Structure 1
Amino acid sequence: MTDDRRLGILLLSTTAPERLPGLARLCEGLGFDEIWLAEDYFFYGGFTGVAQALTATERIRVGLGIMSCVARHPAAAAMEIASLDRAFPGRFVPGIGHGVPSWVRQMGLTPRSPMRALEEAVTGIRAVLTGREPYTAEGEYFTFGDVALVHPPLTDVPLYLGVIGEKGCELAGRIADGNVLSVLAPTEYVTWARSLGLQGMSQAGRTGSFSVPTYVLTAVDNDRDRARAAVKQSLAFYLDAVGPTPLTGSIGINDAVSALIAAGGYDALLEGMPEDWIDVLAISGTPDEAAARIEQYWAAGADCVILSPQPADSLETQLKLIAAEVLPRLAR
Structure 2
Amino acid sequence: MSGTETAPVGVFVATSTPPEDIAGLAAAAERLGYGEVWVAEDYFCYGGFSGAALALGATSRVKVGLGVVASVARHPAVAAMEIATLARAHPGRFLPGIGHGVPAWTDQMGVTAKSPLAALRECVESVRALLRGETVDLEGKQFAFRAVSATHRPDAEVPILTGVLGPKSLRLSGRIAQGTVMSVLAGTEYLSSALGHIGEGMAEARATEHLVPTFALFSVDRDSKRARAAVRPALAGYLAAVGPHNPLTAAFGYNDHLADLLVGDPGRLPEALPEEWIDTLTVAGDPDDVLERVAALRTAGATSVVLSPVNAASAREELELAASAVLPRLV
TM-score in terms of structure 1 length: 0.96
Which of 20, 27, 32 is the aligned partner of 1:30? 32
Moved beyond 3 Å, runs of 4+? 1-5
| Secondary structure of residue in 1 paired with 2:34 | coil
When the two structures are aligned, how many residues end up with a matched partner? Answer: 328
Report what 1:272 is aligned to. Answer: 272
Residues 16 and 49 (structure 1 numbering): CA distance in 2 closer, same or farther, change over 3 Å? Answer: same
Q: For 1:185-209, what per-residue CA distance to the aligned partner results, in whole angstroms no more than 9, with x for missing partners?
A: 11111111122111111123x2220
Q: Structure 1: which amino acid aligns with 2:263?
A: A
User: Does the CA-based 8 Å contact 2:26-2:59 persist in structure 1?
Assistant: yes
Q: 1:113 is matched with which residue?
A: 115
Give the corresponding residue for 1:157. 158
Matched, 1:296 2:296: yes
Aligned AA for 1:189? Y
Q: Could you tell me how far apart the structure 1 residues matched to 2:319 and 2:170 are? A: 31
- Is 1:224 the equivalent of 2:245? no
Aligned to 1:76: 78
Post-superposition offset of 1:310: 2.0
Are residues 1:211 and 2:211 paired?
yes
**Aligned equivalents of 1:88, 1:79: Cα separation in 2:** 14
C-alpha contact (below 8 Å) 2:7/2:33 kept by paired residues: no
What is the alpha-carbon distance in structure 1 between the residues aligned to residue 132 and residue 299 of structure 2? Answer: 33
Q: Is 1:219–1:285's contact at 8 Å kept on the other side of the alignment?
A: yes
> How far 1:5 moved relative to its partner?
6.8
1:138 is the counterpart of 2:143: no
Contact 2:22 2:55 in 1 (8 A): yes
Matched, 1:49 2:51: yes
Post-superposition shift, 1:237? Answer: 1.0
Which amino acid is 1:330 matched to?
A: L
Partner Cα distance (1:4, 1:292) in 2:
19
Q: Secondary structure at the match of 2:326?
A: helix
8 Å CA contact 1:194, 1:210 repeated in 2? no
Name the amino acid aligned to 1:223.
Answer: D
Q: Which residue in the other structure is 1:58 paired with?
A: 60
Tell me, which stretches of 5 or more residues in structure 2 are unaligned? Answer: none
Aligned 1:82-121 pairs, distance under 5 A: 82-121=84-123
Percent identity, aligned pairs only, is 50
Q: By how many angstroms is 1:124 displaced?
A: 1.0
Residues 133-183 of structure 1: CA distance to partner in whole angstroms, max 9, x if unpaired? x21111011011111111101210000010000111101001001110001
Task: Report the TM-score when normalising by structure 2.
Answer: 0.96
Describe the SS at the equivalent of 2:9: strand
Aligned to 2:172: 171
- Between the aligned partners of 2:215 and 2:45, the Cα distance in structure 1 is 19
Q: CA deviation at 1:63?
A: 0.2
SS in structure 1 of the partner of residue 241 of structure 2: helix
Q: Deviations over 1:92-119 (max 9, x none)?
A: 0000001111110110001111111111
Q: Which residue of 1 aligns with 2:14?
A: 12
Instruction: For residues 186-244 of structure 1, give each alpha carbon's deviation from its aligned partner in whole angstroms, at most 9, with x where no partner exists.
Output: 1111111122111111123x222011110011111001111001111111111111112
* Secondary structure in 1 matching 2:174: helix
Residues 220 and 318 in structure 2, CA contact (< 8 A), matched pair in contact too? yes
Deviation at 1:271, TM superposition (A): 2.6
Name the residue aligned to 2:311: 311
How far 1:83 moved relative to its partner?
0.5
Residues 236 and 270, structure 2, Cα contact 8 Å, conserved in 1: yes
Q: 5+ unaligned residues in a row in structure 1: which ranges?
A: none
Which residue identity is paired with 1:159?
I
CA deviation string 1:10-59 (max 9, x = no partner):
11100110000111110000000000001000100000000000011111
What code does the residue aligned with 1:200 have? G
Looking at structure 1, the residues matched to 6 and 104 of structure 2 have their Cα atoms a distance apart, in angstroms, of 34
Per-residue deviation, 1:313 = 2.4
